[in-house]
Amino acid sequence: MSEADTATYKIIIIGDGSVGKTSLVMRIVDNQFSYSMPMTIGVDNYSRVLQINSTTKINLSIWDTAGQERFSVVAPSYFRGSKAAIIVYDITREESFKKAEYWAKQIIEYGATDIKVMLIGNKLDLDDRRKVLKKIAFDYARCNNMMFFETSCLNATNVETAFVSLAKELHHADEKSEYTVNCPEEMKEKGKNITLDHKTDKVVKKKKRFC
Ligand SMILES: Nc1nc2c(ncn2[C@@H]2O[C@H](COP(=O)(O)OP(=O)(O)OP(=O)(O)O)[C@@H](O)[C@H]2O)c(=O)[nH]1
Ligand SMILES: [Mg+2]
């Protein structure tokens, strides 16, 4: 396959400030990590070609956005043409996970109807300081039809796996294959009524019949 045949997909990376969005991009694009990453202002664009199987390469055009609230007013325009969105939170900061709901609403409002969404809990190397339970995040992602990974940019855990999985998902969607995110129908039904309890960090069902 020639370079000209390589499909390009735009993906947008969103999430609270300092969760590690730029670090994820640095790891996947340059295989580097820095403790002193400058804060993103506005948006930066990168790309990485990934080999997803023996015959297929995918070019990801990765848009790394600023997490600081003062930049969020311009963010909606970045969704234009995005085939996927990655919502990042920091597993040691509960607030950053609660903000995932805000970002999910942004995707619904500004993203395409068929946009793929991945939730990433970053800084897995700081597991001893964990504040967000993996199961809570996993259930939230599954019930909202999001792919889910926990990563560490520091030691590179799961970063390549997450991006390759997303690239495969985009490729399969393009091919109109049967491949879907594995979410049982009854969980999808519950997902419509699920929210994050911002006080207890527990999954709360709004309607009792789903408890
Ligand atoms: N221990 C640890 N630190 C990380 C990890 N990922 C990022 N960091 C650190 O977290 C800080 C913020 O990382 P950034 O990548 O700049 O975060 P960001 O989400 O891009 O932040 P904004 O651009 O302000 O929205 C930096 O000091 C990084 O070195 C990780 O996996 N483990
Ligand atoms: Mg950044």
Model's pTM, two decimal places? 0.85
| Residue 190 lies inside a defined structural domain of this protein | no
The verdict on the CB of residue 19 being under 6 Å from ligand 1 is yes
With a CB cutoff of 8 Å and minimum separation 6, the contacts of 124 are 91, 150, 151, 152, 157, 158
pLDDT tens-digit profile, the chain (211 residues): 555 578 999 999 999 999 999 999 999 999 999 999 999 998 999 999 999 999 999 999 999 999 887 666 656 788 999 999 999 999 999 999 999 999 999 999 999 999 999 999 999 999 999 999 999 999 999 999 999 999 999 999 999 999 999 999 999 998 865 444 455 555 555 444 344 443 334 443 333 322 2
Ligand nearest to the CA of 150: 1
Q: Does residue 35 have its Cβ closer than 6 Å to ligand 1? A: yes
- Whether 126 and 160 have beta carbons less than 8 Å apart is answered as no
Cα distances from 47 to residues 10, 59, 187, 202, in angstroms, run 9, 7, 35, 37
Q: Is residue 187 part of a domain?
A: no
Q: Is 103 exposed, middle or buried (0-12, 13-18, 19+ CB in 10 A)?
A: buried
Q: How many domains does the chain have?
A: 1
In terms of residue numbers, what domain contains 144? 6-170
Instruction: Please check whether residue 10 lies inside any domain of the structure.
Output: yes
CATH number at residue 46: 3.40.50.300
What residue owns the CA closest to ligand 1's atom 13? 20
